[in-house]
Structure 1
Amino acid sequence: MQNTSRLVPYVSVLWMTVFCSARCKENPVSCRLWAEPQVPGLSMDGDFIIGGIFTTHYYVRSEQNTYTTMPAQPQCAGRMDFRQLRFARALEFAIREINNETDLLPGVTLGYQIHDSCSDVLMAIKCAFQFANGVDSVFNDSCSKSAAASVPALVGDSSSTPSISMATILGLFGIPQVSHSSSCACLSDKRQFPAFFRTVPSDHHQAAALARLVKRFGWTWIGTVRSDSDYGNNGMASFLKAAQEEGICVEYSEAYFRTQPRNKLERVANVIRRSTSRVIVAFASIGDMRFLLEELAKPPSPRLQWIGSEAWITQTEFLRYNMCAGAIGFGIPRSVIPGFRQFLLDLSPLQVSKSPLLKEFWESSFSCSLNGRTEGVRKCDGSEDIRALQNPYTDTSQLRFSNLVYKAAYAIAHALHGVVCNDTKCDKTTEFAPWQILKLLKRVNFTTKNGYQVNFDTNGDPVAVYELTNWQFKKDSALDFVPVGYYDSSKPRGQEFIMSSAISWMGGQTEVPVSVCCESCLPGTRKAVQKGRPVCCYDCIPCGEGEISNITDSLDCLRCPPEFWPNTKQDNCFPKPVEFLSWDDTLAIILTVFSITGAFMSVCVTAVFYKHRTSPIVRANNSELSFLLLFSLTLCFLCSLTFIGRPSEWSCMLRHTAFGITFVLCISCVLGKTIVVLMAFRATLPGSNVMKWFEPPQQRLSVLAFTLIQVIICVLWLKNSPPFPYKNLKHYKEKIILECSLGSTIGFWAVLGYIGFLAVLCFVLAFLARKLPDNFNEAKFITFSMLIFCAVWITFIPAYVSSPGKFTVAVEIFAILASSFGLIICIFAPKCFIIILRPDQNTKKHLMGKIPSKGL
């Protein structure tokens, strides 16, 4: 109810304005406003009056309403902001300077009315209506006050929230408003605020700049605090949107306004103290930041990297907070206004007493009373020296917003010049409507006397150029503002920043502070978001088998191509090692030794048999088939060598066909010898002439026939689907097995099956002949050799199928060598033993059983 009652004076202004405007011509009346007009803090008469409104105070004194009398007029309260007073006087200086110009509004004198909005919406609304209607409380029957505005244009306000309220009202009357520091992006909406302009960049650009600044230094985990006002809420909303696009996460986002209860401020401060983020972005006004920093300065003070908005980052009074050392932010570029400092210092007690604002400034600065009526305060005696003051009013070393006020005043003057002046002279009696100033203000484009370009885009905004300001310690250990770079929104993306010097970080350190929710995921890992937490909080998961990530903070792992495999760190793909049974492999060397040894044994046995070819034991055991068997065994031993080495198209075809044919030749010889032994005893039966079918020619023919069948199988295999080199990528994931693919599995198993068939047939026949009467029955040895042969190859099948990589080839070689050694040892070792060590048994009588055998 209290706030509602405070609206009564302002609503009455609006109602009386509309009512009198509509009725005075039909029924002339005299209308009186209920509320008294607000007295300007600074004013000067002129042909045309320029309005000004600044936030020189931050509170409004209010009284409890009784609802029986008219509420008292609001009055500003609290400590004066001397910096804002300097802004107000910058407008005063600019207007006085324009009045002395010869090429801008010559012959025309500008005046001004500068008010204090107290950063209060209600006070700003009252001033807005006063700018529209004038200061007279009575509307006469001529309706003059309702037909034309009191001011053609105005400069202000300092804060976005009062400016929004004023722009809503002034836009209805078409009165241009040019603000020097209302940066809320919402004010760029020309549908809502058609008459609003500003010389300060929109927060839309600042928010994007702050987000890119945070991203530039690798901070992905930050906290934010803002003023709970249009400036803070809209600015932070734009920043959070830009931060999200940059992949930045916000741990907390707190809001505070200076009029809120103390416990709200303490809660915000505690949230900041308990946070894990080391970087905090503050989008706050000066008044709100003052309270927040005072609270955070109480122990324990958090060690934070502050990122500030333009509203407070260049505020000199905050330099006393050493906990903010290293703070960076975007400020309005500093400038120089010639003659301005002298103007500020050119004050006398007499001049000061004529202005409520200057009077308060003087008395507050020198702790005296101009009229001497304040109890307990000395009277100002004229000894006060304004040049000795050191406060924001007299500090012109870094003029920033003062220059924006200066530019705003000149922009209005140029627009007014276009309305009341022609090529020859200016007519100060010219009548015009505010919308004419508005129209020309959109097109102003000039350079101020101190060298700054002034123009507005379609939204009434200037080009966004910021100075990157850093709080650094000086030699005397005091903090100071140091420009370290610039940001120009008109530059292409990625080129907006121009860094000019090194940045001092929080606490004065030179290393860029780290502020992340989690440490970066190194190459070889990927990020996995933690459930229920922002995307910047994640776990680093090692890449899966066969996958890599070669960048930091990778979101996904990439699978290596089929012939590549990750290194141990899983950050790069390397060609898989190719594995085959190479000649320098230890296993290959061992098998080669056994192969050559077996071939050498076959050659030695052949030499022994050849030397004793006429001996009974050689002749009795079919010497022709024995030599052919030894030859085939030599080939069997040597064919195992074709399985060693890098598989090629020819070696793959050769190894399998050579193995199949030589083994069939070998088994055919053994089979022939077995049949001859079996048939020899059958031939001793009366009336049997079966041996005529097993003479040497028939034996050779049978061996040739058996071998020819295998040759035909091999030819068909090679013709239809021959073996070929094949990179096996499935058996081992981390290496390539280079092997010989069988091509046609039917062909391979047909070759093995045929060998197995002959071996089984040979074993059966030899088994049947093992007990035939003879002193040296070769069938017994053939039976034993075939038993070994069949056992080896039956065992070979599962071992071949299950052996990995090069061991598959080794198993096949082992089977060839084992079966070959079984044949040569079982069949020829006993004979060589007799020939070499027992020559007395190598006689026809002994073989015929004439002499008792002593056994082996």
Structure 2
Amino acid sequence: MFYLDGTNDLADEIEGVFVRISQLNQNTSLIHPNATIVPTLLNNHGSKAQLIPQALDMALDGEIFIFGSGYSSMSIISSLILQNYQIPMCCGSSTNPTLGQKALYPNFFRTIPNDNAATLTMAQYLAFNGWHKIATINTDEDYGNGAISSFLNYASQYNITVLSRQLVETNVDANAANQIAQQIISAEARIIVYFGFAAEYEVIVQQATLAGCYGAGYFWIGTDGLQQMVPTTAYAGTSYLFPLERADGPVSDAFDAYWKANRLGVGNPGANVSSINSSGPFGYFHSSCVDLALLGFDALVKANGNNVTKLANGELNSQMQVPQSFNFPNHDTTTGRISLDQNGDRSGDYAIMNVQADASLVQVSKWSNGAEYQIQPYYYPGGASYKPADAIDPTTVADYLQTSGDGLGILAIILFLIGIIFSLATLIGTLIYRNHPMIRASDVFVGFAMQFCIFVAWFDLLTMVGKPTIATCTADSVILPLCFAVYYGLMFMKNYRLYMIFTNPTKYIFSTSATIGIGVAFAIPSSIIIAIWSAQDAPKPAALEVIKGVYAWTCSSTSLSYQSGMVGALATYSAVILLFNLLIAFKTRNVPSKYSETKVITIAIYNAVIIVLFAISILLTQGLGYRLKAGVKMIAEFYLLIFNLVSSFSLKISYCVQGNVVSLRSFGRSSNNKTGKSAESKTEDKIQKTKKSVAGTSVIVRKPGFFSESKPRSMISETQNIVSFCRLTKLTLEDEEATKRGDGEVWKRANLQDFHTDTITPTSRRYFLDNEVFEITYENAEDAKSWDSYFSGWASMHMSLSLAEGTKLK
């Protein structure tokens, strides 16, 4: 009476039809008490070439209903042939949406939702779980191509972006599967949706596992094509959507019981193929085809006077309307109540199946009416216990330096501790030797302020350790720029004051407090830049992609271009401060050695520029890891801070400790009055002799200007054997009284402690007396040597006495 069209590899479907028919034949109220349903299997072996003549044979044999043809491609052919003979057909496994086009396939209906329903459900399911960035893979055949096409139509409606779309050939090999896995990694997708069959999926998963994209943090889900997959531990974590094939109720329970008791005794052709003890999913859907077919025939027979013979002879086929004649939405079938739309398609709920860690396949949730109802926990790939994030969630994978078990993080802490200890040791050393001439020459209190800047700067190393916070991001943007500005601002002011003392002491000389205050004021422009930066787009913790596929925590403004502009402004201002220091280093290059810091400034700036340029070139290099860049940054900071501390302070302290204080051609004072008088007497004799030898010599005293190295100040002549220095210190009341008395030029030298001479040229000298400097050009080299002897004798005399009054040199 009925033909079943199918193949032996569809044993599940075959058994569903045979077992359900056998069960319903036991019901005497079915159609007619004397009617018996006799199914016949026509095996086409999956060959379209065999299917066509078989379909014609079925039509010519007068068959009235067809269950099949299993695969969508086969059902399409069967429907096109059988519709010409008004033979309806139902399938529980053909899901191609094309079969729902009633104009083309008017005799076809199905008890399984089509792929459009499945892909719509897939789009809804992904959006419901917050997954809007995915990768797709589909097999290159009717099912896969149709499913992906349908899914893409729905994806845009649910704001789903496909990061990577991969097409897989049937019978895909390992190399091609590996390329698909690499594309997924490159696209940074974490949710992979598969439209295809199990054979290709298994190869892809094997390669994806090796590549690292089938594991923790990823989620792989497919459609009903994966139902054929044999679950193993290799696919633990795989999920797929499948229409709910079994209803909870007496009809399904009775079918299951009959299946277990009778499947081998009902003439079942699939019994030799299948060894399962209950129907598979497609067996359930095909059994529902039997339910709807017989319900339709029963109604048709009753409408025709219970004449079952007409039905068997095909005389009632013209009255069959698909799907109206087979739509019984209020009747329970093995798969629940089925409501067919005008195209013969079923709408229904879906089960989400999941392969567990032990390779068991279980239903973990149910999708119904646009919502997911979880039944038991998912097992995710790699054994992850958390739901994977949409695409790559940088906040979960971003790297940062940690305080324990992280070599680089521990190194940062060690460098910080070394720096703090070194700074404290330097501070203590400065306090101990604060009265030493070498320390005093560098201005102790300004030195304390500079050391404090370095001490604070060490804390920037700590901002590199741990996951960034608003506090550490703020500190990172403030500490180094301000400490840099204040440190080099103090260095500039200290040396500018030294320059003023040695070149123009008649003008106002900054006090120590004023020097420190102006040095600190150098940080005002940096503070303004930082304040604007913070007000407009302050750096905040952010997990950014530092190189392709690698994320790290950092402090970043929302606009990277704006941040670059602010950093550039700070860097430009810092460069200006360094240029000012270079200029003052050049201008003070002739200051006495014990005061001069020209070399210190020049070397410090040289090191700063070289290290910063090297560090920037490394940090801007593409492809370098976050940790390498962090290591370069912390070592560069450590080196610069240590170098400045050593060159400006620690080296001098070490000289003090060792007693190797350097004072070029300096003369010490004696507190012994008797010795002092003897020295004075000897020196006077030497001076008198020198006066006679240099009588008539003309000299020029030059005072360097800030932007001119040879600005004449005054002419001094040698007359009457009297040598007079022009006044280079502020006039005091004592000086003024001496001038009024006609004592000539008075040089107040109450406590001369240092005198030495630098030879510029054979006829030019530079004389250093404590904080004063004189440049003198003689007519010839012989005169220069004679005056060297004279000034040396004069200085020797005055350095041996403690004078309370102004000293006149005549």
In the superposition, the TM-score normalised over structure 2's length comes to: 0.44
In the superposition, the TM-score normalised over structure 1's length comes to: 0.42
